[in-house]
Amino acid sequence: MKLVRALVVFLLLVTSLLLLERSVSAQVCTEISNLTERIGCFEKELGRLGAQSKTLANQIAQFDAQIRLTTLKISQTEEKIALLGGRIDQLEGSLDALSTAFSSRAVETYKMSRVGDPLLILISAPDLNGAVSRFHYLQRIQEGDRDLLSRLQSAQTTYKEEKTDQETLQAELEKQKANLDAQKRAKNALLSQTKNDEKMYQQLLAQALAEKAAIERALVSGVKVGPVKRGDPIGLVGNSGYPGCSTGKHLHFEIRKNNAWIDPAPYLQNKSVKDDQNGGNMVAIGSGNWPWPIEDTVRLTQFYGHTPYSWRYTYSGGIHTGFDMVSTSSDVIRAPADGNLYKSAQSCGSSVINIVYIDHGDNLISLYLHVQ
């Protein structure tokens, strides 16, 4: 019993030290006055946290550091936009002044040029010295006009470039704000899904790893059914793998190229789908020529990449490796392209998950998880 008590005390002490170290590191970053250096500090802090063992406290700390980092980057972008806006205002004033000056000079120069013929200057001048003086004066006026025109053209070019930079920064700002909203949703989802319980957190991580292992086994041991054509039915949307590797009826659609998962959007046709991940609005997704594997209306419950639920996919760096979707009209799954069809049933925790996949050739595979 003494040994057990000593071990418990040791673990509590280690946990307390880790929490104190994390708090001190974040506090050090917060106290840095220079914005760029503070951003660099939080980037290092994220790297340090990412290298530590995966615990719920560590995951929360990573979300907090990422939220602070994104907030700082938003402030930095807003400062750049404000500074650029001031320069653009100055350029607009300079452009107006230069344009007005050039217009006035152009009119006067035109008038002078009408009598600027060397023969007319020579005839109208009182003497040769006067003619030479008038000719040189006209040359200086024309040189001044050329210089003014050059400055005007340069100011116009700079103005266009800085307006483009301003638009680029504004787009970056909107992207950063969207990222910040997504990070906050992900943290809230983490706390909601785990109930702030370490055991639940580790269980969800284990489920994600079990699903990955099931896919890898299926790719090795899947049974070949035969060739399929684009549009052929290949299965029904289901909930196989529940409760070990599924939280509800849906299709997990994944594409692998050269054994690496990739975003399905560039392969799928452009379609308006219901974005259930981010509030339920209709959004256009896709830029390829593959039809979607299920029929309209498609509800996309989780995108590819960083999502409010993807924190559990530690093996992919926190990236959800496909699209999760359901249809409001049909459970039929259809082949998006020709290939050879394979089927597999694999253990996933305490459950069995049914996986269908198509080998399209050229090291391209599409996978369909949780089928009936």
**Hey, is 355 helix, strand or coil?**
strand
Residue 104, pLDDT above cutoff 80? no
Between 10-14, 277-281, 283-287, the lowest mean confidence (pLDDT) is in 10-14
Q: Please, which pLDDT band fits residue 27 given cuts at 50, 70 and 90?
A: confident
Query: What is the CB neighbour count within 10 angstroms for residue 200?
Result: 13
Residue 161's pLDDT is 77
- Local structure of residue 349 (DSSP, 8 states): T
Q: For residue 141, what is the enclosing H or E element?
A: helix 128-194
Statement: 22-196 belongs to CATH 1.10.287: yes
Q: pLDDT tens digits, residue range 212-253?
A: 999 999 999 999 999 999 999 999 999 999 998 888 999 999
> Rounded CA gap, 69 and 7, in Å?
37
Q: pLDDT tens digits, residue range 122-162?
A: 555 555 555 555 555 555 665 666 665 666 667 667 767 77
Amino acid found at 247:
T
Q: How many Cα atoms sit within 13 Å of 258 on the Cβ side? A: 0
Residue whose entry in the numeric block shows the structure tokens 């559990």:
312
Cβ atoms of 325 and 248 within 8 Å: the answer is no
Cβ atoms of 319 and 286 within 8 Å: the answer is no
In the chain, where the domains are located: 22-196, 202-369
Name which of 230, 278, 252 is nearest 348 in CA terms: 252
> Rounded CA gap, 210 and 344, in Å?
15
**Hey, is 91 helix, strand or coil?**
helix
Name which of 257, 276, 319, 268 is nearest 294 in CA terms: 268
Sheet strands (E) in the chain:
223-228, 233-236, 251-257, 260-262, 271-275, 281-285, 298-302, 323-327, 332-334, 339-348, 351-361, 364-369
Compute the chain's Rg from CA coordinates.
33
Residue 3, pLDDT above cutoff 80? no
**Hey, is 282 helix, strand or coil?**
strand
Residue whose entry in the numeric block shows the structure tokens 């005839």:
123
- pTM value is 0.72
